[in-house]
Amino acid sequence: MRLILSLSLCLALLAAPAVAVQPDEVLSDAGLEARARLISRDLRCPVCQSENIDDSNADISRDLRLLVRERLVAGDTDAQVIDYVVDRYGEYVLFNPRARGSNLALWLAGPAMLLVGGGLAFGYLRRRKAEVTAAGLTQEEETRLREILKQ
């Protein structure tokens, strides 16, 4: 389905795109490169349809990949690199929305719904259980049943 809609501008506009991460971009320091890959996963190609900069073919994604590596080589922490990119390209490039301000509602929606739904379900189950007891036998009948079973 994604493919059908992947008529992405970035693909259509470029005759010969650089396909995703290129050999010349890869850092020689394996540790830094691994960090760069992890950071890239959280950054969105600004002109594509929900592709991160690693998977994207757009020129701007290549620029971003190089920028991330530049910052890492300069000694930035992961958080600093992401802040640096967000400062310049806006919140839009962040695939992992920050749990701050109104975004808290996004992050808390699932757990909140689980609590509400769980509460409702629990209440429902308790009512069903109450009916089990109500529809069941009376104290007297239970005693009689036990006596019969003993025999």
Give the interface with another protein as residue ranges (CB under 8 A).
Answer: 1-9, 11-12, 15-23, 26, 41-42, 44, 47-52, 54-55, 90-97, 102-103, 106-107, 109-110, 113-114, 117-118, 121, 124-126, 128-129, 131-132, 135
Q: How far is the CB of 31 from another protein (least distance, A)?
A: 13
Of the pair 60, 94, the CB lying nearest another protein is at 94
**Rounded least distance, CB 66 to another protein, Å:** 14
Cα–Cα distances in angstroms (integers) from residue 26 to residues 44, 54, 65, in the given order: 19, 12, 10
Count Cβ atoms below 10 Å from residue 110 Cβ, excluding itself: 9
Of the pair 51, 81, the CB lying nearest another protein is at: 51
Q: Which two tokens stand for residue 32?
A: 């830094």
Phi, psi for residue 92 in degrees, rounded to 5: -60, -30
**Of residues 70 and 117, the one with the C-beta less far from another protein:** 117
130's tokens: 């109450």
Closest by alpha carbon to 62, among 46, 86, 78? 46
Neighbours of 36 (CB within 10 A): 26
Residue number with CB closer to another protein (110 or 151): 110
